[in-house]
Structure 1
């Protein structure tokens, strides 16, 4: 029998090739078995990370400033009421009273204070064109000005822990001024996309449990970019019980791919009193807090600044101004929690 002179070399090459294949198979099996790192998105992040450290308490809130003014003018009883409200974390409202430079400064001051506290501030952006459809809280920027303002806000928030409540009533109120949709929805969609790209968790307007049907609200949220947002908010500046809001929000969440949500309980301590504008007999809701994360409800907040007027109704001053009599009602009838 004749053997090729290179037979041993061939055998060695075959052996080496077989070993290499075996090594690749082992590595592939190990890779498949090893747990893959989870990619955290704005939707999947835990609510305790979204509101890291809990809720920020602003030292110069509307209530705190009112307390100082009232005390200085000798109105000690009204000052005491304002001081009690000032002890509770409340969202910070940013509207067209702040130009681009001023809004950045306002944000930076509160971000710095929140960092010292180790908490997360919530900012309310309230400057959409034809805000409140021209009612008591009328105002807002023009459609040309609004995107630049949003860019300024986004630039100030980028890289910091904060959450944003984007334009209360803006989507729910389209039931009252449907003609605004053509301008408003694209502006909101662009705003949420920009903020979310900067990794700022955003909540969009979903009205409240007694306003817009869940299917209609879900459709508006989809058009406004809910897929880019953390979720939506309900009951801002309204009075409905938490159970009503959770039931409604659960339906809207199910219709929007399981979106998270927050609920304003600042003035729902005694429920609906027949009118939205400075009703008598209202009370502060339960203390705001981050939830345990067992549902899509991220946090129970005080978004509306309790004690501020809804407008010139029932003896109130202009919208957003401190209303001592109303503040006293809220504190007197507050929920004990």
Structure 2
């Protein structure tokens, strides 16, 4: 991916997966909800998003509190850990044989405290086209894995962001038709659920609105709530708002969410641990009735993008950078 891409920066393990192959029907039409009808009211309004007690931020905050409970670092990391961020579902951590039970447990825990979990589905075959976040499932296992996640969320209120970078990278990777079909599989799987689903659309420094809209339309954005922008990136909210509105106008009024976890200073064109950045707006639904449904922390802001600009391996927690982001935001 070139410098305009997200480069999600996730640490990946290796797990051998084995499970029966279950055919997943691609007939979306019987479950279709048009973008226009889905736009009747913001489904995220009034929701409290789930704060994962096992997040990397919480682990860091606990360690800091044990080392020096009265330190400024412990207080800042504790505040970071209180912010709801997305839970990334990757087959390396949530394999095919346990993913349904794992997601059910998370959704149940969120329901018990009256919160709505945000999930990122990130297991598409040839994920990241073999770059830093390489991995993913086989062509045969992927539909089954997604269907298992959907089954767990059939009657559970949740937000699902489907396959960051998959569509945005497709032109560069030369697999547009394959990616469109794979995202359609996800759309079909979640259609009978109550999950609020957003397809990933890249961001304002990557695709033109016309290109993003074309990919989203082909992948079935009209059958879900809308799309997500700026996942794991740093573009400011004004740029993403303009991009989102332009894409929305070309997708039948599809709504969108923005990853604001690290966009407080708007980035500098770098995707991998750029210096001088800040936390962005905290996660919350919007209330202005416009096309933007919410600000979300999709990327945990203290996690490294990779071994660049002094960072640790991709996906590892980086205390120094987390504290810098917080300080720059005035925390």
> What band does the TM-score fall into relative to the shorter chain?
0.7 to 0.9
- 1:134 aligned to 130, 135, 144, which one? 130
Shift of 1:54: 2.5
Note if 1:56 corresponds to 2:64: no
Shift of 1:197: 2.3
- 1:274 aligned to 264, 269, 273, which one? 269
Shift of 1:291: 0.9
Contact 1:127 1:167 survives alignment (8 Å): yes
- 1:176 is paired with a residue whose SS is helix
Q: Which portions of structure 1, spanning 4 or more consecutive aligned residues, are displaced by more than 3 angstroms?
A: 39-42, 49-52, 69-81
Which residue does 2:23 correspond to in 1?
none
Contact 2:158 2:194 survives alignment (8 Å): no
Normalised TM-score (structure 2): 0.83
Q: Choose between structure 1 and 2: higher helix proportion.
A: 1
Contact 1:46 1:293 survives alignment (8 Å): no
Note if 1:66 corresponds to 2:66: no
Mapping of residues 143-154 of structure 1, within 5 Å: 143-154=139-150
Distance 2:225 2:198 in 1: 6
Note if 1:254 corresponds to 2:249: yes
Structure with the greater alpha carbon radius of gyration? 1
Distance 1:102 1:279 in 2: 36
Contact 1:266 1:301 survives alignment (8 Å): yes
- 1:157 aligned to 146, 149, 153, which one? 153
Which residue does 2:292 correspond to in 1?
297
Query: Which whole-Å deviations, capped at 9, do the CAs of 1:66-106 have from their partners, x for residues lacking one?
Result: 22245456696654443221111111111122112432233
Q: Structure 2 unaligned segments of length 5 or more: list them.
A: 1-33
Greater shift after overlay, 49-58 or 150-159? 49-58
Distance 1:244 1:40 in 2: 23
Distance 1:324 1:184 in 2: 36
- Distance change >3 Å, CA 293–CA 82, structure 1 → 2: same
Contact 2:180 2:219 survives alignment (8 Å): yes
Contact 2:60 2:319 survives alignment (8 Å): no
Contact 2:260 2:296 survives alignment (8 Å): yes
Greater shift after overlay, 258-267 or 112-121? 112-121
- Distance change >3 Å, CA 107–CA 84, structure 1 → 2: same
Distance 1:234 1:187 in 2: 19
- 1:233 is paired with a residue whose SS is strand
Shift of 1:53: 2.9
Mapping of residues 165-244 of structure 1, within 5 Å: 165-178=161-174, 180-244=175-239
Contact 2:36 2:252 survives alignment (8 Å): no
Note if 1:125 corresponds to 2:125: no
Note if 1:92 corresponds to 2:87: yes
Distance 2:252 2:217 in 1: 10
Contact 2:204 2:243 survives alignment (8 Å): yes
> How large is the Cα RMSD of the aligned pairs?
2.2
Normalised TM-score (structure 1): 0.82
Which residue does 2:22 correspond to in 1?
none
Q: Structure 1 unaligned segments of length 5 or more: list them.
A: 1-38
Shift of 1:286: 1.2
Distance 2:45 2:37 in 1: 12
Structure with the greater relative contact order (CA < 8 A, sep ≥ 6): 1 or 2? 2
